[in-house]
Amino acid sequence: MMKTMTCKQLGGACDEVFRAETFEQMVAQSKMHAMAMFQQQDAPHMLVMSQMAHLMQDPAAMQQFMDEKRQQFDALAED
The string of pLDDT tens digits covering residues 3-56 is 999 999 999 999 999 999 999 999 999 999 999 999 999 999 999 999 999 999
The alpha carbons of the chain give a radius of gyration, in whole angstroms, of 12
Q: Answer for the pair 5, 23: CB distance below 8 angstroms, yes or no.
A: no
Q: What is the mean pLDDT of residues 73-79?
A: 95
Q: What pLDDT sits at residue 38?
A: 95
Q: What pLDDT sits at residue 63?
A: 96
Q: What pLDDT sits at residue 8?
A: 97
Q: Answer for the pair 9, 63: CB distance below 8 angstroms, yes or no.
A: no
